[in-house]
Structure 1
């Protein structure tokens, strides 16, 4: 292991020799003692030592030197080696020079000439001690920061904020609070069939590549992932607009992902996204030695059910009436009512809407064009004017054959 270096700088050789002898008597067993007869030489020695991975815990420099004054030297050493302790040794330094060294080089101490040997030795000893204490503290701080950074990958800081907690060590079992939150569920279509074409390792890599694509989009819009459920994502948002904007961008990013994905034998994937807004309880569940954060409430269940309905209606994004009501300006999106349904596991009905903003341009134009026609067809259907509704839905399909919702309503009419 390389010995750390004590560097002494003075333009008078006799003084350098005196300092060296005194320091060798007390520090030679643990440190190398280096000498420089001027500021420029000292800088060269510092740079060479640092390049060779030597530590320089302390530099002792004279103030009056012909090429570079002590305060300027210490300032420049501070730039290349901030942790190094700096000591100025002189009988001629003025207040301005000392102040300059303190402000720009973090001067550790100023010792007047002629110096007392015991004072010099004590200063160097305490300075080195300070250097290594600071180094140890920095290493522990970096280690703690690494651990916190790792921990945040499992528990987002936003969850703590919503629980009104400032530190991770404040988390206790059964802590909870009620919040109005927007829940987003996103799921890959037919992933079981897709996964059968891949090895377990390829499955693992594929899922992570997909999630790495979608996670940044969620964070970009101030959301955070509550949990991953296989290939599904459950994300939380305090703002309904953020959730809808996330869903739209996720679909655009998915298009890019499909173009660049590394599995040429795998068909492009599609996803469905369901969004719901409402009050829920969020907090910690489990037992004292193993707990996790979670959210609980009907709003979560409904969001999950709405996501499954995206398969039925072949609509990439569906939102509930509760989310639509929370949008600051619903008209900024292309939204159409799809249905009023009683989802599985619920007794009360919920109205769901399709967000069209993420679908391909040609299909978008068709669906926007038939929007009023589809709305009139819905009104007729719900008022039991089935013949009129049939005609209107048929016209919707004539203009937009891809509209699965119109086809579903016609099937319902034909079955009655």
Structure 2
């Protein structure tokens, strides 16, 4: 069974010994601190505690001050604090709660009351921690809620942010080769590998969609692009392990867009979940689906590129100007090469000049010249699906002619 770890803080060695005796007999792991400074140093060193028992009246630094410091980093549902007090006036107890205490015990306390209160708070904290796996703290912070119990249907935040959709390419075909149990294990193993990269770059996962995910980055486009690159790099490392184990590597597509959107709680009274809503969310999903068509790993919209602090630090290749399904206005889309393997990235950079010359001729309706450039790209990199796509397109335009009033944007019909 898990052994819960409790920090007891009191300047009286006798009180510490009494508390230690009671708790140790119940299989709690106990760490002792003689003052507030020592208690805080334990936490600053990275030690984890399930609960703190904190005496109020201590020299130099009172229990109130220690609790206030704790609450700067640890919310009450994450780290419960039970205060020990010789004061039992209501006004004194209120002060303790105002500084962030979860509960109090008046001295002298009984052993049974001590153990009952501790067990209740640890159980509540563990329950909150379990809920956090379904509704992460980052989502609570985003909605400005202290605890899961504060969440209500309709809570939302509307602001400009980046949104990411990602998916495993050809997952349906891959899943057909696996049993349901193998499918289940595979998806969990993959998500376990890549999900931390979202959190590490300021994003939080709104929901999983089978083998895919949707995430938002409230602090902007930079976090989203870095998160997308980190996720794809983790996939490359994961693929190396898969190859070593005799499994096929997987390919993942990532689409990023930036704009106004609403993130909040939807559903009905008996069943709620987090979600994000906006036309911008739908567009991000469309961009992810285009990664397969263009044979790339990471597509960003022009809005993302415009909102990067330092776009020059990334290796970006213009892909196309398109009208995606369900839209009327064309958008410019770009490939971020930093998310590719080193081999793919280098060969695309090697053919960049011919590719850009081909695009220039294409925009001028100089289709035969464009065709020559794209053939030169494919002579070096026959796997460049974007160059193949443009070759098919210019052949079509040479044969059928240019549509009247054509702006250069290509209308896509794929889902």
| Pair in the same fold by TM > 0.5 | yes
Question: Is 1:142 the equivalent of 2:142?
Answer: no
Distance 1:209 1:161 in 2: 28
Question: 2:300 corresponds to which residue?
Answer: 319
Question: Is 1:305 the equivalent of 2:286?
Answer: yes
Where do 5+ consecutive residues of structure 1 fail to align? 1-42, 56-71, 73-81, 86-97, 110-125
Question: 1:277 corresponds to which residue?
Answer: 258
Question: 1:179 corresponds to which residue?
Answer: 159
Contact 2:255 2:284 in 1 (8 A): yes
Residue 129 of structure 1, aligned match among 105, 109, 112 = 109
Contact 2:317 2:336 in 1 (8 A): yes
Q: How does 1:157-236 map to 2 (within 5 A)?
A: 157-236=137-216
CA gap of 1:129–1:237, structure 2 versus 1, over 3 A, is same
Can you list the C-alpha shifts for 1:300-346, whole angstroms capped at 9, x where unaligned? 11111111110011101111111111111111000010001111122
Can you list the C-alpha shifts for 1:115-152, whole angstroms capped at 9, x where unaligned? xxxxxxxxxxx866344333322222211211111112
Question: 2:408 corresponds to which residue?
Answer: none
Can you list the C-alpha shifts for 1:12-45, whole angstroms capped at 9, x where unaligned? xxxxxxxxxxxxxxxxxxxxxxxxxxxxxxx999
Can you list the C-alpha shifts for 1:96-115, whole angstroms capped at 9, x where unaligned? xx999x999x9989xxxxxx
* Larger CA Rg, structure 1 vs 2: 1
Superposition RMSD in Å: 3.5
Q: How does 1:222-371 map to 2 (within 5 A)?
A: 222-238=202-218, 239-261=220-242, 264=245, 266-371=247-352
Distance 2:125 2:114 in 1: 16
Question: 1:384 corresponds to which residue?
Answer: 365
CA gap of 1:54–1:384, structure 2 versus 1, over 3 A, is closer
Distance 2:210 2:20 in 1: 53
Where do 5+ consecutive residues of structure 2 fail to align? 1-15, 29-33, 35-51, 64-82, 87-105, 400-415
**How many equivalent residue pairs?**
322
Select between 301-310 and 286-295 the one with higher mean Cα deviation: 286-295
The TM-score normalised by the length of structure 2 is 0.69
Contact 1:218 1:225 in 2 (8 A): yes
| 1:391 partner SS | helix
Contact 2:167 2:213 in 1 (8 A): yes
Question: 1:151 corresponds to which residue?
Answer: 131
Give the CA deviation at 1:53: 5.9
CA gap of 1:250–1:379, structure 2 versus 1, over 3 A, is same
